[in-house]
Every structure is written in structure tokens, then in C-alpha cells.
């Protein structure tokens, strides 16, 4: 499978701060990749470098197979981009915005555009500056979807949107799912929005990539394991490295096993805790996995995650 996005040691320094620090990741074509991390982790800086809005101070990135430094109108005609702080020509009406964007994209689909506009309930004659935040985001998404891009890049699209608009946004975005090999790169500090949508997950913190893996692989290797020990005590100091956030309360022990193996993990638990009884193993949601990782990585501001 080809990668729609690839970065190699991508870095960006602002003064003495490494906003993005040697980031190496791959986004397979046809996937919905959730790029997660707290505010200030380097998500927006990464996205700006991918789209050639910002130059890297080190490393490289390619998008649709083209070096990010060479990306111009030719490539941007296949990429949709909606960001939290999108600059929009506020003096235009929705209709004028559509007319303004349309000639830039050879693949613009006017029928699809009208359908989306009706779905989003956007009035043609209303000026952008008169629109609510939610309506504005929908207008930005509309003119990013109407040319059926091969790649949709969304930077914190849900911030400040009410649940109804979030739902409309996701439905709109999924209108493209009939296209073969259509990909999405979506940054968020909130995993809830993308839990079942993302088939790839990346976690960035302090400019560094902490993890990049398929959701299926993550869910296969993580399990919550619980057991009861006959004697209440502190946990032994040397625990398996794959155990995240081990806790004991009274006689109950709870750990997150990050390298689960069908029989091996229980054997391991009995080895470390010889009096372990009633061992239970349960699968975890992406959200629970994410929280366990957040606590392990000590992400700044983990409460937002």
C-alpha cells in the first residue's frame, strides 16, 4: 500500500523551542488517520509543514508523493484543508465563496456542491461574517469537499462546535467515502470524536511522536487485566515493562497489559503475583487505551485527552 503522507525526521524550531522534533510517520492511502495530542503538542505546526505553509528547519515530508516544499496549486487541487482558525474572506457571501473557489479546482463537482450546501443548510446570500462559528466551519468544509479531494486534512475541526454541527460535519466528510482510496488526516485533542472513525492513530506530545499504529493493532495488543491477591500489600517494585498504570486497592490489582498474548499474559501475572486469583482479561476501547498511554507518557494536560 502506498503512503499518502510520509515524514522523515521532520522538525521545526521556533527560537529555542523544538515545536516538532524529528517526527517520522506514515499515513497509508485510504485510511482515516487521527493525529492526537494535547494543545501545544505540535499538531498544527506539523500540518502547516505538510501543506508547505511553514518551512521545516530539519527533515522532510512528502504528501501525495510530492516533497512538501514543492507543493503548489497543482497538488492543492487534490487536497482539502479545514483548520480551527481558518482565514476566510469574511466580506463574501456563501455563494460568492463558492464562485471564488470553483475555478481553482478542475475536479469541482457543482451537483455535489449543491447537495452538500443543502445538507449543511447554508444560505447562499448570507455573508460569512454574519455566520455563526458552526456555519462558518461548514462553509469551509463545503468548499474543501466540493472538488472531491484525494486527501482531506482537518486541523482540530471540532473545537467549539455544538454536537449537531459536529454530526453534520462528520456526515459531510463521509460523503466522500464512495471514492476509492480517499484519505483523511485529522488532528484532535479529543479522541471521542474519532473513536470508531479512525483506523490509524498517532500520538504526539512535546513535538515528539509517541506512537503511530493501526487501531486494530492497538486494540489487539492492549487488555485490562484484573486479579485478586490473597494478601493486601504494595505491588513489587519490578513489574513487567509492558504493564501500564498498575494499581492496587485492598486485594484488587488492576493493570493495563500493552503486549497482550493469549496465554502468556496470564502466566506472567501469576509469575509476578503468585497469589493472584480470579484473573480477568477484558478488551479496551480506543479511548481507554489512549488514557492509559496519556498517563504513561505523562502528556502535558492529559485531562483534555
Q: What backbone phi and psi angles, to 5 degrees, belong to 283?
A: -65, 160
N-terminal to C-terminal alpha carbon distance within the chain: 31
Stretch 263-302: interaction string toward another protein, x if CB under 8 A: ---------------x-x-xxxx-xx--------------
Residue span binding another protein (CB under 8 A) among the ranges 42-50, 87-95, 172-180, 251-259: 172-180
Whole-number minimum distance, CB 11 to another protein, in Å? Answer: 31
Q: Please list, in sequence order, all residues whose beta carbon lies within 8 angstroms of the beta carbon of residue 126, skipping any fewer than 6 positions away.
A: 93, 94, 135
Q: Which listed residue (53, 76, 88, 170) binds another protein by CB under 8 A?
A: 170
Among 5, 198, 209, 229, indicate the residue that binds another protein (CB under 8 A): 198
Single out the segment in contact with another protein by CB under 8 A; choices: 7-15, 72-80, 192-200, 241-249: 192-200
Within 158-248, residue ranges assigned H as helices are 163-174, 215-221
Among 85, 87, 118, 178, binds another protein (CB under 8 A): 178
Does residue 163 belong to the site contacting another protein (CB under 8 A)?
Answer: no
How many residues line the site for another protein (CB under 8 A)? 24
Q: How far is the CB of 147 from another protein (least distance, A)?
A: 18
Q: Does 121 bind another protein (CB under 8 A)?
A: no
DSSP 176: G
Cα separation, 216 vs 155, in Å, equals: 24
The length of the chain in residues reads 305
Cβ 76 to another protein, closest distance in Å?
24
Q: Counting contacts by CB under 8 A, is residue 216 touching another protein?
A: yes
Query: Which of 124, 174, 217, 261 is in the footprint of another protein by CB under 8 A?
Result: 174
Region 15-74 residues binding another protein, contact defined as CB under 8 A: 30-32
Query: Cα torsion for 30, 31, 32, 33, to the nearest 10°?
Result: -130
Instruction: Say how far apart CA 219 and CA 54 lie, in whole Å.
Output: 35
Q: How many CB atoms lie within 10 A of CB 298?
A: 9
Which of residues 23 and 227 has its CB atom nearest to another protein in the complex?
A: 227
Residue 177 sits in the site that holds another protein (CB under 8 A): yes
For strands 151-155 and 183-188, give the pairing.
parallel
Given the complex with another protein, which of 32 and 113 has the nearer CB atom? 32
Instruction: Please work out, in degrees rounded to the nearest 5, the angle formed at the alpha carbon of residue 38 by the alpha carbons of 36 and 42.
Output: 75
Ordered alpha helix ranges (H), the chain: 43-50, 73-76, 94-101, 110-120, 133-145, 163-174, 215-221, 264-272, 286-297
Contacts to another protein by CB under 8 A: 30-32, 170-171, 174-175, 177-178, 182, 196-199, 216, 219, 278, 280, 282-285, 287-288
Amino acid at each position: 500500500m502506498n503512503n499518502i503522507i510520509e515524514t522523515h525526521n521532520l522538525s521545526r524550531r521556533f527560537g529555542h523551542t523544538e515545536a516538532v522534533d524529528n517526527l517520522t510517520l506514515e499515513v497509508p492511502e485510504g485510511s482515516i488517520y487521527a493525529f492526537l495530542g494535547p494543545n501545544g503538542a505540535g499538531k498544527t505546526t506539523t500540518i502547516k509543514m505538510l501543506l508547505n505553509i511553514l518551512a521545516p528547519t530539519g527533515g522532510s515530508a512528502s504528501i501525495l508523493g510530492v516533497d512538501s516544499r514543492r507543493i503548489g496549486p497543482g497538488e492543492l487541487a487534490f487536497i482539502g484543508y479545514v483548520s480551527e482558525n481558518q482565514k476566510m474572506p469574511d466580506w463574501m457571501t456563501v455563494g460568492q465563496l463558492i464562485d471564488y473557489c470553483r475555478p481553482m479546482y478542475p475536479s469541482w463537482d457543482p451537483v455535489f456542491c449543491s447537495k452538500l450546501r443543502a445538507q449543511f443548510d447554508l444560505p447562499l446570500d448570507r455573508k460569512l461574517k454574519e455566520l455563526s462559528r458552526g456555519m462558518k466551519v461548514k462553509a469551509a468544509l463545503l468548499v474543501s469537499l466540493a472538488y472531491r479531494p484525494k486527501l482531506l486534512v482537518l486541523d482540530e475541526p471540532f473545537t467549539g462546535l455544538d454536537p449537531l454541527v459536529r454530526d453534520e460535519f462528520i456526515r459531510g466528510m463521509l460523503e466522500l467515502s464512495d471514492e476509492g482510496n480517499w484519505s483523511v488526516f485529522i488532528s484532535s485533542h479529543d479522541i471521542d470524536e474519532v473513536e470508531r472513525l479512525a483506523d490509524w492513530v498517532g500520538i504526539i506530545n512535546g513535538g515528539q511522536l509517541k506512537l503511530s499504529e493501526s487501531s486494530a493493532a492497538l486494540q489487539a495488543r492492549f487488555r485490562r487485566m484484573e486479579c485478586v491477591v490473597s494478601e493486601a500489600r504494595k505491588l513489587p517494585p519490578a513489574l513487567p515493562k509492558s504493564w501500564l498504570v498498575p494499581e492496587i486497592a485492598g486485594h484488587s490489582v488492576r493493570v493495563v497489559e500493552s503486549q497482550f498474548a493469549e496465554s502468556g499474559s496470564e502466566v506472567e501475572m501469576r509469575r509476578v503475583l503468585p497469589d493472584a486469583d480470579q484473573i480477568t482479561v477484558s478488551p479496551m476501547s480506543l479511548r481507554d487505551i489512549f488514557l492509559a498511554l496519556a498517563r504513561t507518557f505523562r502528556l502535558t494536560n492529559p485531562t483534555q485527552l
